Amino acid sequence: MTNRNINGVIVPLLTPINSDESVNYVYLDNLIEYVIQGGVDAIFAMGTTGEFARFDKDTRGKVAAHICKKANGRLPVYVGVSDCGTRQVIEHVKRAELAGADAVACSLPYYFPISENEAYDFFKDIAMSTSLPVILYNIPVACGKSISFSLLEKLLHIDNIVGIKDSSGDKQYFSGIIEICRKRRADFKVLVGTEDMIYYGLTSGADGIVPSLANPFPRLLAELYKSSLAGDYEKLKYHCDLVNKINKINSMSDSWMFTNLWRKRALELMGITNSCFTKPYTPVNDILEKEIKAVIEQYQKQFL
């Protein structure tokens, strides 16, 4: 795989679990098949949406291997390898290689703050540890800061660092990375990681989107991206407005994890997975349940 393949709708896959937080591989198979049939272009396993940081390294490796096997080459699988230190990340990388991943995605180390020089050495060491393409993952809310523009420019010189997924939600930052990448390395892929930035990102030159909403509603996101490829910006705006309307549910809980929690509940209501979630979390109440059911009904009328 080359970085030319990193584009389109990349679904950050949820991880179905049982009440004891063991992985439910039957439901995982259901979800993989559902999103593939729904028209997504790639799967991102063990990312934030997949609750990766709440699983041990063996579970993360097993989930990645299972997803790669089930996908069976039908679409690329990118595996999240983020952790708080270089050694841990390289261990995840080796598991991703054994799993058959097409690329790995890595954030800045979390918990311990690091300098820019340390961050450069970190990403360089990760890239040198593997022949797989490496996607940078910018998520400042979880890592304490963004990948700086100056750091990004240095990392563009490392051949197998091939793209960046930006989940900052910052338009100015996103515009900055687009400008840097298009000037310094035209083939470097830029991915939109927050759903309220999809319209801005795609009309600014992004190569793809990584929407967690593609778990329950893959056809909506597939149609959205098709409209972008066709240059039909009126239709793109319509679909983006629909995504934003659906995502008003996100703000109906004070739990940061709620976005992924209600997506799991939607999938349960559609008979695809269950809604078990790693603790701690705030459960869906009756009011939210009603909102989720209304969204499902609207989606099924329009896209199924």
Task: Indicate the DSSP class of residue 185.
Answer: -
Question: Is position 94 annotated as part of the catalytic site?
Answer: no
Residues 6+ apart with CB under 8 A from 122: 86, 89, 108, 109, 114
Q: Choose the catalytic residue: 2, 69, 111, 248.
A: 111
**Is 281 a catalytic site residue?**
no
Note whether 214 and 35 are within 8 A (CB): yes
Beta-carbon-side half-sphere exposure of residue 103 (alpha carbons within 13 Å): 29
Catalytic: which of 130, 165, 225, 264? 165
68/102 Cα distance (integer angstroms): 9
Q: What is the DSSP letter of 215?
A: T
* Catalytic-role residue among 137, 199, 225, 299: 137
The SS3 call for residue 79 is: strand
**111: annotated active-site residue:** yes
Residue 55 CA to residue 84 CA, distance in Å, equals 14
Rounded to the nearest 5°, which phi and psi values hold at 298? -65, -45
Query: Which distant-in-sequence residues (6+ apart) come within 8 Å of 114 by Cβ?
Result: 108, 122
- Tell me which of 15, 27, 34, 48 is the catalytic residue: 48
Which are the catalytic amino acids?
48, 111, 137, 165
